[in-house]
Amino acid sequence: MTTETETHTQIAVEVAGLKVNALQDGSGPNIVVFHHSTGSPGWIPFYDLLAEHHTVTAIDMPGYGQSERPAWARHPRDIAILLHSAVHKMGLDNDAHMLGMGFGGWVAAELAAMHLHGLDSLILVGAAGVQPEEGEIADVIFYEFEEYVKLGFSSDEAYAEVFGDEAAPELKEIWDFSREMTARLTWKPWMFNRQLPYLLGEVETPTLLLWGEQDRVTPIGVAEVYDASLPNSTLQVIEGAGHLVELEKPQAAADAVNAFIAGL
């Protein structure tokens, strides 16, 4: 089902009996986007910047936003398999760049590991999914969830620029709802898969690892493990940005993605 909204096209497909929703805009080569563990942000300026040169399809991952919950799902790989189907049903599976942010980056990496030749490229923005050699991926359990989102920025000021001093109740509701879904998918170990680095060794898809210089959620060590595991990856650090690169430095992030795709 495809519906024209005021600004973006809304797409809905059914996968494993569940509705999966996406927003689409722009024209040109396809970029498919998976959001963070905090849920689907709706259409953000970063997507507009990508849509200047691409068709951007931002999917609400199953169990988040407007996509129904697979109550049986227990691992991001389950979500990756569902999204593999969803992307196919949206007609994007053999000609798309896949961009995953944070937890969505983990899902994208899982998908890449099972879909080796169908992707034009993989773009992981502050992705979770592998264990850093030092430090750890921030654990939402130990934060008030607004504090957790704040941790995604380089500073409280940077957070306030996007959300104000305190986020709106409806946003908090989304974060709360989303963290429940995330907690159904990852718990032990928290936010990574010990098998993934081995599986990524077979992924020859060109990959951009895009990281905020001051990522306090997925430390740069995570990017380094990805970089060491993937045979064809490039690590690029965005100066001054925290974990939520796309919210804090949308222009720099979009420039990096556009340049990476143009250079393939």
Partner 1 sequence: MFVGYFTERPYQDFESGWVGATGREIEDLGMTNGDYNPRIGAELYNRYLDEKVYAEEMGFDGLMLNEHHSTPFCMGGVMNVEAAILARITKRAKIVLLGNVLPIWEDPLWLAEELAEIDMISRGRLVTGWVRGTGRESVAHNSQAPFNWERFQEAHDFVVKAWSTPGPFRWEGEHYQYRYVNPWARPYQEPHPQIWIPGVMSRNTVKWCAEHRYPYVMLATEIEPTKQSFDYYDEVARENGYEASTEHHGYLFKVHVDETEELAEEAGRKYISGPANPFLEGNQGTVRSNLQNLPGLTSRTQLLPTVSTFAAAARGRQAERDAALAEQDAETDKQDADAFGTYEEQVNKYSIITGTPKTVIPKIRHVLEELRPGNIFFWDGDGAMNHDDAMRSLRLFGEEVIPAVREMGKELDLKGAFEVDTQTGAPMSGD
Chain residues binding partner 1 by CB under 8 A are: 41-44, 65-66, 68-69, 140-145, 147, 162-168, 170-171, 173-174, 176-177, 179-180, 182-184, 187-188, 247
CA angle 115, 69, 148 (to 5 degrees): 90
Provide the minimum distance between the beta carbon of 73 and partner 1 in the complex, in angstroms, as a whole number: 11
Sheet arrangement for strand 119-125: 2-4, 9-15, 18-26, 55-59, 30-34, 96-101, 119-125, 207-212, 233-238
For residues 250 and 44, give the distance between their C-alpha atoms in angstroms, rounded to a whole number. Answer: 9
Please say which residue, 38 or 218, places its beta carbon nearer to partner 1: 38
For residues 38 and 72, give the distance between their C-alpha atoms in angstroms, rounded to a whole number. Answer: 20
Please say which residue, 38 or 214, places its beta carbon nearer to partner 1: 38
Provide the minimum distance between the beta carbon of 35 and partner 1 in the complex, in angstroms, as a whole number: 11
Provide the minimum distance between the beta carbon of 207 and partner 1 in the complex, in angstroms, as a whole number: 27
Q: Residues 136, 248, 233, 25: is their CA dihedral positive or negative? A: positive
Please say which residue, 51 or 220, places its beta carbon nearer to partner 1: 51
Please say which residue, 77 or 115, places its beta carbon nearer to partner 1: 77
Please say which residue, 134 or 170, places its beta carbon nearer to partner 1: 170
Provide the minimum distance between the beta carbon of 184 and partner 1 in the complex, in angstroms, as a whole number: 5
Provide the minimum distance between the beta carbon of 15 and partner 1 in the complex, in angstroms, as a whole number: 16
Determine contact, residues 250/45, Cβ cutoff 8 Å: yes
Provide the minimum distance between the beta carbon of 169 and partner 1 in the complex, in angstroms, as a whole number: 8
Cis ω before 189 (30° cut-off from 0): yes
> Whole-angstrom distance between the N-terminal and C-terminal Cα of the chain?
32
Please say which residue, 180 or 255, places its beta carbon nearer to partner 1: 180
